[in-house]
Structure 1
Amino acid sequence: MIVALPVLAAVFGLVIGSFLNVVVYRVPAGMSVSHPASACPTCHSEIRPFDNVPILSWLVLRGRCRDCRTPISARYPLVEFATGVFFVVVAIRFWPVGGESLGSGPFIARILLIAAFLYLAAVSMALGIIDGEHHRLPDRIVYPSYAVGATLLAASSLLSGSWGDLGRAGLGLVILGSFYFIAAFLYPAGMGFGDVKLAGLLGLYLGYLGWGPLIVGGFSAFLFGGVFSIVLIALKRMGRKGGIPFGPWMLVGAWFGVFAGPAVWNGYLALLGLAS
């Protein structure tokens, strides 16, 4: 099962990555993600199923439409590849070292936990690209993610009995969401309400993992975003009063909290002599 997990996650990630290409193109335009079928924007020829295989089809077609030979952006296979890798890393992060009995309550709880964070990974890819290009965090993606994330995490807690984690997730939602709400109220020019809505979602997930991931993930967004802004200013790519979309850095910070939060937080407590 441990060997098969990365393969399954990779294949699933490639397929989801293909769908995310549709999402990041259609959602900002206010279009449906389910219909009409994908087509070439130049000749309007419908994409054939065998030309819609993640990465492989783009390579076979040499990055051009089969009918009119219009170039197809390399972003499509890159998003598919990145999502596949992202899914593998997330699945491995949450798979237990010792394993659990196949079909048992703890096993199903672990699968639900992995599903919850794979969903967040997909949402992170979509929101990061959309906010980077359009400076928007669409409600069509953010709001349903609250319901999906809360349902999967609650179901995992139900089977594992980790009610403390679920309660902390609720507190994480309130704490991080409130912090961003206050920041947006005090400095509306630098913080949008879309960031506030995303903060609550990230607080839900980070809080479920622990106080360390929540604090580290929340703080890291400002650290990484600040460093990036300083670099842009130093390179004269942005003025001192310029701004960058903050959503991508919130997502980067959150995932840093997911993967490195416990270690960073424990190391910080040890440095202060507070580690147990």
Structure 2
Amino acid sequence: MPGSDRTYRVVVRIFGMLFRLMGYRFDVRGVEHLPTSGAAVVAGNHIGFLDFTFIGYAARPRRRRIRFMAKRSAFELPVVGRLMRAMHHIPVDRRSGARAYRQALRLLDAGELVGVFPEATISRSWLLKPFKRGAAGLAINRQVPLIPAIVWGGHRIFTVDGHRSLRRGMPITIVVGEPLRPREGETVAQLSLRLRAAMNALLAEAIDTYPAMPTGDGDRWWLPYDRGGSAPDPETAAVLDREAVARIGDVFD
């Protein structure tokens, strides 16, 4: 179980300094839905490589640290892997997820917040992909709240297919929704559907209220296809996902 969180505190402080240096304009809503104590599962959408840092950063006012489940391949990277282990994040091996699941349960038993990306990989459409059921399964297994969270704008900074930017003053919206509490007799599939509906509503809110628009046709890539953007529709994005994994594997995606 996590003891000293010195590394986590240092990393959060460093990222906070970098965010201020870059002048990122955060709009964080619903942070009061994160408990100040006790276990919960936090489920976030996945549109960029920095999603976990933004959701973790948003939890600072509640004095909580989120232990994210992430691909084992990320833990094998120099420096990054050591830091993630020191921060007690959870490595997930796609071929055998039972060990990660048990580790997540132990963290919940210890009163921790466990962060999960139900889509598993980054969405190239920027819309929600089909969900894995791990987040709902953890919440039902330990009868803890399942908290939806949405990040919007972070993909403009660093995401798949070579999209990255060092532009200062980028707006980033983070919306945390009301906790979903497992109902008596509710199945994992049913709770997962409730989670997806809640996250879809929060994503629509985040996009609708985002304080920026594309500057021209070449800048429409970060908007979904159904919002006038040039991002692929979900079906096309799924094909691109498969091609990317076949080409370069899934170290980061």
Which protein has the larger Cα radius of gyration, Structure 1 or Structure 2? 1
With normalisation by structure 2, the TM-score equals 0.30
Higher RCO, 1 vs 2 (CA within 8 Å, ≥6 residues apart): 2
Q: Larger % of strand: which?
A: 2
